[in-house]
Structure formats: C-alpha cells, structure tokens
C-alpha cells in the first residue's frame, strides 16, 4: 500500500507500542487503549477520547472504495494521503493528533510538522511525512530484528494477509473517517456526541466483510488516565479538607441540631475517602500498565538472535543439540495429539 519511500517498518497493533510512539514523537499526556466493545458506555468511560484507530484486513482497492467516498468542503480537516509503505499505523496516529491540536499538547516535532504541511494538498502532506526524519526514526525504533535479511521486495498479492489502519475523529462538530488510501476525508455527518455515533459507522464497515472475518482491532487515543485520576484526587482532597474544617466547627457547637449535622458531615467524609482510595487504586493500575508497556517494548526492540545463536552453537559443540531437537519434536507431537480442554 503506497510506494516504498523511506523504508518504514511494519508496526504491531498494540496499545503499548502506540502509546510509546506518541510519547517519543513529543506529544504529552496521551495514551492509547485497546477497545473490546463499541457501545457508548464503554467509550464514554474513557473520555476524553480524541479519536479511534481501526485495523482491518485490506482487500485491495475495494477496501478503500467501500463506505462513503471522499467529501468536498472539508479543508479544515488535516488529511494526508498515504505515500509510504508500512506507515499507515503512524499515519493513523497522526490523523488523530494533528486534528486535535487544540486539545493535545503536540510538542515541538509535531507542531513544526503541522505548521509546515498544513497549507499543502493531501498528496504533498504525505510526501512531507516521507521526508520527516524525526517521525520516521520514532516509527522505525520498533523494527523487529531479523535472523535473515533480504534485499528482495515484492508487492503484496491477494494471497497475502495485508492489514490497514484508518482513523475516526471529530472535527468541527462532524465525524470524519481518515483513510490515507483515499483522496480525502469521508464525512459521516453532523454529530453532537460522536462517541454515540461512531459505533454504528464502524459496525457498518465491519459488516462489509464476510462473517468468517474476525480480525479487527480498535484502539482509542485518549488523555493520560493517570493525570485525569490525579486531578480528581486533588479536587477530592480539597473537598475533604473543607468538610474537616466544617466538622471541627460543628464539634465546638453544643446545639442539638449540630449533632445530626456532625453525623452527616462524617458520612460525607467517609464516602469521599472511600472514593479517593478507589481512585488511588486506579492510578496504581495505570502505573503498572505503563511499566508493563516499557518492559514489553524493550523486549520487542531487543535483538535476541545473537544469544540464541550462541546457545545453539554451544549445544552443538557439546553434542546435545541433536538430542534436544528430537526431544522438542516429540513434545510438539504430544501436544498436538492431546485433546483440547474446553
């Protein structure tokens, strides 16, 4: 998909990968969450949601011709055509970030790129992305180590499973689909609450595939949950502090009705402390998630091939490689013969 400019690597559809890509491009307080449901409650629970990224199996030209066609009069939408092979993941991310610059702190690299390219036509924006060394370097930081390198390059055939990323983003009170393989953005209409409307649009897109095709993936670009939760804790601390002062004043008051008020305020403080503990637990979960992202991404980037080579070489020198290989084959056969446990 697209011409081979810049040798951009394939990117795994993973929230940890996408979150680190966004961070390394310089955008602040943004993360990516994987979605398992399109219902409105699930989407609103993650608010604010800046955009959605949808992964599907590309079926040649029909994939880009499906759904509605490009819409005229959408010049206010930042849209770039895909020129770069394998860059659709990063392009889908940028389609969200660069259209939500009023709500997202983009950082120097993305601000400079947007300022430079915003007045260009969509095809020239795609070429500008091709030549943006900073963005390409961040993208290619996730290249997978290969045991065997080949200079042979061939276009994908109909027998290959090729997947493509597109974005859904609200701009100016309308819902847009941004697919770099199209000539322009697709306008899905006016929306007062795009999280209520986008599910139906994506479901319709999925229904265009056969019932046997289940390989879809949906990611939400959202504000950093840790920051939002911490802000809620700060607000709650202020409310608790006010109630504690109120409680202290009430305890100095000997009037009978003050005792009832004391009980009411103590109850409010108890509920707020309980809610605060829940928020702190949610922050811990988010921190653990980000720590796992860092570990998983480090493992993705690490080249284990030299270690495996030396291990196999050492086993061969000791004469244990052949027997270990046969043992592994037998274990594999046993596993395939075992009945599946439902």
Residues with a catalytic annotation lie at: 88, 164
CA distance 178 to 184: 7
57: which strand partners? 163
> What are the structure tokens assigned to 335, written together?
């596993």
> What are the structure tokens assigned to 106, written together?
């983009």
Distances (CA, A) of 130 to 22, 106, 149: 17, 19, 23
Q: Percent helix, strand and coil across the chain, each rounded to 5?
A: 50, 15, 35
53: which strand partners? 167, 219
Q: Decide if 93 contacts 22 (C-beta within 8 A).
A: yes
52: which strand partners? 168, 220
**Sequence-separated (6 or more) residues with CB below 8 Å from residue 66:** 205, 208
CA distance 191 to 159: 39
Crossing angle of the two packed helices 122-130 and 108-117, in degrees rounded to 10: 140
Whole-number CA gyration radius for the chain: 26
């Amino acid at each position: 998909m697209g011409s081979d400019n810049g040798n951009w690597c394939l990117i795994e559809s993973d929230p940890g990968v996408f979150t680190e890509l966004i961070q390394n491009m310089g955008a602040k307080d943004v993360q990516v969450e994987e979605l398992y449901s399109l219902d409105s409650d699930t989407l609103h629970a993650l608010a604010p949601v800046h955009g959605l990224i949808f992964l599907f199996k590309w079926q040649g030209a029909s994939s880009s011709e499906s759904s509605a066609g490009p819409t005229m009069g959408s010049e206010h939408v930042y849209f770039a055509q895909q020129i770069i092979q394998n860059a659709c993941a990063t392009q889908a991310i940028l389609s969200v970030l660069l259209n939500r610059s009023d709500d997202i702190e983009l950082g120097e690299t993305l601000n400079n790129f947007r300022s430079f390219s915003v007045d260009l036509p969509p095809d020239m924006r795609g070429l500008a992305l091709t030549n943006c060394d900073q963005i390409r370097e961040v993208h290619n930081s996730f290249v997978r180590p290969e045991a065997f390198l080949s200079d042979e390059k061939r276009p994908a055939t109909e027998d290959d499973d090729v997947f493509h990323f597109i974005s859904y983003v609200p701009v100016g009170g309308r819902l847009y689909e941004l697919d770099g393989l199209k000539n322009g953005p697709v306008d899905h209409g006016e929306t007062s609450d795009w999280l209520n409307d986008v599910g139906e649009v994506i479901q319709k897109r999925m229904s265009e595939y056969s019932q046997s095709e289940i390989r879809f993936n949906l990611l939400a670009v959202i504000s950093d949950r840790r920051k939002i939760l911490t802000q809620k804790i700060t607000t709650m601390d202020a409310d608790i502090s006010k109630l504690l002062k109120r409680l202290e004043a009430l305890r100095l008051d000997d009037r009978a009705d003050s005792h009832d008020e004391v009980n009411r305020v103590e109850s409010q403080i108890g509920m707020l402390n309980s809610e605060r503990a829940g928020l702190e637990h949610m922050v811990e979960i988010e921190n653990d998630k980000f720590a796992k992202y860092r570990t998983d991404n480090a493992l993705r980037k690490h080249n284990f091939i030299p270690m495996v080579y030396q291990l196999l070489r050492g086993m061969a020198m000791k004469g244990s490689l052949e027997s270990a290989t046969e043992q592994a084959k037998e274990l594999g056969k046993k596993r395939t013969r075992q009945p599946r446990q439902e």
